[in-house]
Amino acid sequence: LSEKLGGILDRLTRRGALTEADVDAALREVRRALLEADVALDVARAFTDRVKKDAVGVTVMKSVTPGQLVVKIVHDELVKTLGSDSQTIDLNAAPPVAIMMVGLQGSGKTTTTAKIAKRLTTRQNKKVLMASLDVRRPAAMEQLAVLGRDAEIDTLPIVAGQLPPQIAKRAIEAARLGGYDVVLLDTAGRTTLDEEMMNEAAEVKRAADPHEVLLVADSLTGQDAVNLARAFDERVGLTGIVLTRVDGDGRGGAALSMRAVTNKPIKLIGVGEKLDALEEFDPSRIAGRILGMGDIVALVEKAAANIDAEKAMRAAEKMRKGQFDLADMREQLQQMQAMGGLGGLMGMMPGIAKMKNQIANAGLDESILKRQIAIIDSMTPQERRNPDILKASRKKRIAAGSGTSPEAINKLLKMHRGMADMMKAMGQGKRGPLAGLGQM
């Protein structure tokens, strides 16, 4: 597919800004790739629609086709959508912290319960108790007991005749009395989404009041992933998702589907049958697998890096010659903006706290960056190259165009002169570039 896509995309070799037609053409292919990866249809459509809004108008860099650039934008958005701040299991509660596992039969709940128990025991030094609430299949409880024995993790003694909520309560009580940090509740699944399972899970949740409710789902789940995740989230309430069988051949589109409908983080992935085959979820790895266009993404990243290098060289050359016009300044301002404004920029440079204060005093915040860029955008190319021609009438026109005032333009010009002088000094000086910045 990637080759075919490359072929179609290569024909779109126009440069400039991405047009709606460019984006539409590439997104048709992207949508097809998402469907092939088993992303649910609605999710794929909603996702590409969202990306379309961001992509139209983005500047196409040299040596990259519009289609390739769209793929890269899609990839980045995919990583962003899949990622989240809270990917680890949250144990931030009074012990014993209860973690409840839900999901269809065969999805890997029991295995994952033991995997998580082992992980918390060995990596975080937690004392963990596991309890099987699966009263439907006699072998299920024994399965967890065997896993526990092998991994040297305690399991709740089996008592015949109890209902799942009772077992949950007994497990929590035993964990409290036994001084356990964590109690894992492995529930019974069903082969399909049925009422009985949902009611049972909801009852267990009420009885146990777990801190985490993790949906364990097979990464090979196709179009059903949406219904599965939505039903469990609505009926039981999820705090996260564990994706299993990521070691298989599937492309893992279920990750995107489930994340999109529940907005719950994917916390861990299962990558094999063994108890240590549990890994942290890596959004970019799964994004690459879902999209299946890693070569294109890498190509665009390389092109972007080249352009940054070229820009830096051009800037250095101008600096050396003492040329630093308003177009250059605009580029600098935009870079500052991209780095999260001056706050972000300063955070990245050591020893510039003092300068940060100066800037704060001057009121140079992000809204000002935006305004300054707007002013420069309202100038003609000639004015940007040669600010000396900016007399009163031109300033009035630019002020009107940018929604500012001639005073604001004077301020900008003053700042530009300051920067140009500094650049000149840096270009000729013996000191490092960061030392020069201090004069800004």
Residue numbers at the binding site for ligand GDP (CB under 6 A): 103, 105-111, 189, 244-245, 247, 270-273, 277
> Between 128 and 133, whose beta carbon lies closer to Mg ion?
133
Instruction: Indicate the length of the chain as a whole number.
Output: 440
Question: CA angle, corner 1, sides to 269 and 272, nearest 5?
Answer: 20
Confirm whether residue 188 is marked as ligand binding: yes
* Burial letters 403-433, b for 16+ CB under 10 A, else e: ebebebbebbbebbeebbebbbebbeeeeee
Judged by CB under 5 A, the residue of 107, 110, 219, 372 near Mg ion is 110
What does residue 242 show for φ and ψ, rounded to 5 degrees? -115, 125
Shortest distance (Å) from residue 107 CB to Mg ion = 9
Segment 125 to 164, residues that bind Mg ion, using CB under 5 A: 140
> Between 92 and 191, whose beta carbon lies closer to ligand GDP?
191
Shortest distance (Å) from residue 227 CB to ligand GDP = 17
Confirm whether residue 217 is marked as ligand binding: no
Spatial separation of the C-alpha atoms in residues 128 and 184, rounded to whole Å: 7
Confirm whether residue 121 is marked as ligand binding: no
> Between 277 and 355, whose beta carbon lies closer to ligand GDP?
277
Spatial separation of the C-alpha atoms in residues 14 and 283, rounded to whole Å: 31
> Between 109 and 416, whose beta carbon lies closer to Mg ion?
109
Shortest distance (Å) from residue 186 CB to Mg ion = 6
Q: Tokens 């990917």 map to which residue? A: 87
Which residue from 234, 253, 231, 233 is spatially nearest to 243, judged by alpha carbons?
253
Q: Tokens 């309202």 map to which residue? A: 378
Question: CA angle, corner 26, sides to 25 and 30, nearest 5?
Answer: 125
Shortest distance (Å) from residue 109 CB to Mg ion = 5
> Between 64 and 204, whose beta carbon lies closer to ligand GDP?
204
Confirm whether residue 189 is marked as ligand binding: yes
Choose among Mg ion, ligand GDP, none what residue 245 binds, the Cβ cut-off being 5 to 8 Å by kind: ligand GDP
* Burial letters 113-144, b for 16+ CB under 10 A, else e: bbbbbbbbbeeeebbbbbbbbbbeeeebbebb
Give the three-state DSSP class for 171.
Answer: helix
Shortest distance (Å) from residue 214 CB to ligand GDP = 12
Shortest distance (Å) from residue 204 CB to ligand GDP = 15
Radius of gyration of the chain (CA): 29
> Between 272 and 347, whose beta carbon lies closer to Mg ion?
272
Choose among ligand GDP, Mg ion, none what residue 81 binds, the Cβ cut-off being 5 to 8 Å by kind: none
Q: Which residues are annotated as a binding site?
A: 103-110, 186-190, 244-247
Q: Which residues are annotated as a binding site for GTP?
A: 103-110, 186-190, 244-247
Instruction: Name the site residues for Mg ion (rule: CB under 5 A).
Output: 109-110, 140
